[in-house]
Amino acid sequence: MNAWMWAVFAVAAVVYGAVSIARNWRRERALTAQSQADEQAKTDALLRQITR
C-alpha cells in the first residue's frame, strides 16, 4: 500500500509539473506575440512619419 501511494504521488507530481510548464509556455508565447505586435506597430508609425 505504501509503494502504491508513492506511485500515485509521483504521477500526480509529474502531471502537475507538466500542466505548469504548459501554462508558462503558453503565457510566454502570448507575451512574445504581443511584444512583436507592439514593435511592428511602432515601426509602422515611424515609417508613416518619415514618409510624410
CA distances from 52 to 43, 45, 47, 48 (A): 14, 11, 9, 6
**pLDDT (0 to 100) of residue 42:** 93
Q: Distance (Å, rounded) from C-alpha 52 to C-alpha 43?
A: 14
Whether the pTM exceeds 0.85: the reply is no
**Residue (of 51, 31, 28, 27) closest to 39 by Cα position:** 31
Per-residue pLDDT of 17-28, as tens digits, reads: 999 999 999 999
| Most distant CA pair in the chain, distance | 77
Confidence bin at 51 (pLDDT 50/70/90):
confident
Share of the chain above pLDDT 90, in %: 88
Per-residue pLDDT of 25-50, as tens digits, reads: 999 999 999 999 999 999 999 999 99
